Amino acid sequence: MAQTVQSCGIYARISRDDVGTALGVARQIDDCTAEAARRGWALGEVFTDNDVSATRVKKRPAYERLLHAIETGAVDAVIVWDVDRLTRTPAELERFIDLADCHHLALASIGGEVDLATPQGRLTARIKGSVARHEVEQLSRRLKRKFQENAQGGKSHGMVPFGYRRERVTDEQGRDAGTRDVLEPAEAQAIRELYAMAIAGDTLRYLAKHLNERGFRTSRGNPFQGNVVGNMLRKPRYAGHRTYQGQIIGKGDWDPIISQDTYDQALAVLTAPGRRHSRGIEPKYLLSGIALCGRCSEPTRMRPNIQKARDGRAARKPAYVCPGCTKVTRMMEPVDAMVEAVIVEILSRSDVMEHVSETPDALRAATGARDAVLARMDTAADEFADGAMTGRQFARINERLGAQLATAEANVAKLQPSSVLDGMTGAGAAEAWQAASVNRKREIIRELATVTILPSGTGVKFAPDQVKVEPRKRP
């Protein structure tokens, strides 16, 4: 005898909805609604999981609500487009069968009724579930092989990374040939800036702030966080590499944003054991914790100094105060200005890199060797342009000199001091200093000099000789 149904639930699910229109589940709901009307079952709630797989560990919210509705008696029948819409895992199917048996649930699909109260009906459901599971495993095997093939061919996969956009491409006959990642100019330039800032020692928090202030957002529309930027910069794909299961397997079919050298330098900085990790608030004060007390050598800290203004009101102005002996206090603004002027003057010197190098003589020799190779390459180019050598001769000379130049530049890089000075020296030092973050300025001061605030007595106005800036001595 046919079961009397008081409230029928409809469950619809589709594993992937790339377009986001939910048309797949809409068609299932339409068919199931028509089936409920044909059977004369009173329609209750519709449970929908769109773009959710039935094989993943992640819970399906609508499916869980359906199970709860069955347990509480809110529905006593379920219509699905097919049994594999419910589940594709045998364990989950057995759970549903037990629940249906306990609550005398009627189950119908567009292909016909499945009576879970009978051995034959349960066998039918299990066969359908096993077939569905087999299809999933076969599809998974094919997809994994396809992903591996795409990886070996250097093709992109997954979400489009920051710095690129994905475009469809066609073959010579105009047929669809898949997709390819191409540079997004503004984002690509931002990536180059991030790598330069990371190499220079700026914190990941500051890099994230830099992106957010320029109006960039993540692929989900959220502001960037420091850890997100760090993970992004560690990706070899920005140097043009394709990875598969965490390993580099070849070159990608996209244009790299940075060079291999830049990536190697940044990775060394980001993974350095002694790297300072920014936790909490980004530093705001140039010399707090850096400038030393001239009496006890304790690092000074910023403290608000209360002074009386002309109108008699108390004014709180930032000052550097020694927390040790408490005998040295200097207003922050003139101290900062004096120290910055000295540091910019040091950075503007032509020999600043040799000055801060631990092996200045070796650096000078390596730089000379590199410049000599560059001069020989320029001479060869001039002779080729004047017709004094053939193209084949020029190519051979250029190849040999190119190898020598790579070795010479590597030698210079090994002998150069901290990369925090990159782009901060020479004629443009003042402009570079003005544009640098407080954190980078602090790292440069640590690299170049020792700052000491000398005691001067109560009520004495600030004078430059009250602050001593000594070039840091190299071992």
How is 405-472 classified by DSSP, letter by letter?
HHHHHHHHHHHS--GGGTT-SSTTHHHHHHHS-HHHHHHHHHHHEEEEEPP--TTPPP-GGGEEEEEP
Element of type H or E holding 20: none
Instruction: Please provide the DSSP assignment of 290-340 as one string.
Output: TSEETTT-PBPEEEEEEEE-TTS-EEEEEEEE-TTT---EEEHHHHHHHHH
More confident position, 353 or 205: 205
pLDDT for 271 equals 78
Sign of the dihedral defined by the CA atoms of residues 227, 16, 160, 215, in that order: negative
- Give the residue from 456, 357, 458 showing the smallest Cα distance to 468: 456
Angle among Cα 80, 81, 87 to the nearest 5 degrees reads 65
Assign 8 to helix, strand or coil.
strand
Domain ranges, ordered by start, for the chain: 8-148, 181-270, 292-348+425-471, 359-416
Q: Which of 149-153, 206-210, 387-391 has the lowest mean pLDDT?
A: 149-153
Provide the residue type at 335 as one letter. V
Q: Which of 129-138, 298-307, 457-466 has the lowest mean pLDDT?
A: 129-138
Assign 158 to helix, strand or coil.
coil
Angle among Cα 383, 384, 386 to the nearest 5 degrees reads 65
pLDDT for 331 beyond 60: yes
Mean predicted lDDT score pLDDT of the chain: 79
Q: What is the C-alpha separation between 420 and 143, in angstroms, rounded?
A: 45
DSSP H stretches of helix in 171-246: 185-200, 204-213, 226-233
pLDDT for 280 equals 47
φ, ψ of residue 275 to 5 degrees: the values are: -65, 135
**Cβ proximity of 193 and 210 under 8 Å:** yes
More confident position, 113 or 70: 70
pLDDT for 188 beyond 90: yes
* The domains spanning 8-148 and 181-270 adopt the same CATH topology: no
Structure tokens at 428: 């443009």
pLDDT for 376 equals 81
Confidence class for position 341, pLDDT limits 50, 70, 90: very high
pLDDT for 468 beyond 90: yes
**Cβ proximity of 444 and 317 under 8 Å:** no
pLDDT for 158 beyond 60: yes
Confidence class for position 19, pLDDT limits 50, 70, 90: very low
Residue 276 half-sphere exposure, CB side, CA atoms within 13 Å? Answer: 15
Q: What is the C-alpha separation between 42 and 9, in angstroms, rounded?
A: 9
Quickly count: other Cβ atoms within 10 Å of residue 35's Cβ.
Answer: 19
Confidence class for position 467, pLDDT limits 50, 70, 90: very high
Confidence class for position 229, pLDDT limits 50, 70, 90: very high
pLDDT for 386 equals 80
Q: What is the C-alpha separation between 238 and 188, in angstroms, rounded?
A: 9
Quickly count: other Cβ atoms within 10 Å of residue 257's Cβ.
Answer: 25
The CATH homologous superfamily of the domain defined by 181-270: Putative Large Serine Recombinase; Chain B, Domain 2 (3.90.1750.20)
The CATH homologous superfamily of the domain defined by 8-148: Resolvase, N-terminal catalytic domain (3.40.50.1390)
Beta strand ranges found along 15-91 (DSSP E): 43-50, 77-80
| pTM more than 0.85 | no
